[in-house]
Amino acid sequence: MESQHPFLQWYGGAVAFATSLMGCRENARDVVQQALYKSLSARRVPIDEAAQKVWFYKVVRNLCINGLQQERRMQRTVDADALAAAYVDSDEPYERSERIAWVRQGLAKLTPEQREIVVLRDVNDLSYDDLAEVLGIQRGTVMSRLHRARMALRDHLIRIEANAGGVTHAN
């Protein structure tokens, strides 16, 4: 029986993260494939699974940044379906699809840095310490940036819902 590559368990989250940075799902998949290849050929990979996850997301992020620098563009799209689980709490199909569209619109209005931290935390469930390591910033900076990003997203969602004639729901 063949053993499965240990980093494959983070493939879906890594694609969502890379998509949020690259703006293109196909480019994101390419980047994640490159990251998987790099993880296979790396000589020094952390032994601990939590450290491996952080290392892998750093590889994905760095490859995205390199790709964006080469392309000189950053589109504003993100995998809203992955984020819907974190931000949409409706069982009604129509209401859920409408809210997913709102989340997509709200995320498109965030800066790339805001989208990056929201996706890493709320989709990929990285801890504050892991975020600090992946992003190369202090833990306190992670907390304040994440708070500001979530508040900006909330404000965008409130405006989008109000413009759509919806009623703001308290969670």
Examine the domain organization and report whether 87 and 153 are in the same domain. Answer: yes
Question: Which domain-ending residue is among 16, 47, 71?
Answer: 71
Question: Token pair 């974190």 is at which residue?
Answer: 86
- pLDDT at residue 92, rounded to an integer: 67
Question: Which domain-ending residue is among 71, 95, 110?
Answer: 71
- pLDDT at residue 170, rounded to an integer: 44
Question: Which domain-ending residue is among 47, 71, 95?
Answer: 71
- pLDDT at residue 8, rounded to an integer: 86
pLDDT tier, 70 (very low <50, low <70, confident <90, very high otherwise): low
Examine the domain organization and report whether 146 and 112 are in the same domain. Answer: yes
SS (H, E, C) the chain: CCCCCHHHHHHHHHHHHHHHHHCCHHHHHHHHHHHHHHHHHCCCCCCCHHHHHHHHHHHHHHHHHHHHHHHCCCCCCCCHHHHHHHHCCCCCHHHHHHHHHHHHHHHHHCCHHHHHHHHHHHHCCCCHHHHHHHHCCCHHHHHHHHHHHHHHHHHHHHHHHHHCCCCCCCC
Examine the domain organization and report whether 158 and 85 are in the same domain. Answer: yes
- pLDDT at residue 88, rounded to an integer: 60
In-domain check, residue 141: yes
Which one of 17-21, 96-100, 102-106 scores highest in mean pLDDT?
A: 17-21
**Percentage of the chain exceeding pLDDT 90:** 28
Examine the domain organization and report whether 93 and 61 are in the same domain. Answer: no
pLDDT tier, 90 (very low <50, low <70, confident <90, very high otherwise): low
Structural domain containing residue 33: 6-71
- pLDDT at residue 57, rounded to an integer: 93
Examine the domain organization and report whether 120 and 140 are in the same domain. Answer: yes
In-domain check, residue 170: no
Tell me what the mean pLDDT of segment 135-146 comes to.
93
In-domain check, residue 56: yes
Q: Is the pLDDT of residue 69 over 90?
A: no
Q: Which domain CATH number covers 89?
A: 1.10.10.10
In-domain check, residue 168: no
Tell me what the mean pLDDT of segment 87-99 comes to.
66
Examine the domain organization and report whether 67 and 86 are in the same domain. Answer: no
Q: What is the CA radius of gyration of the chain?
A: 17
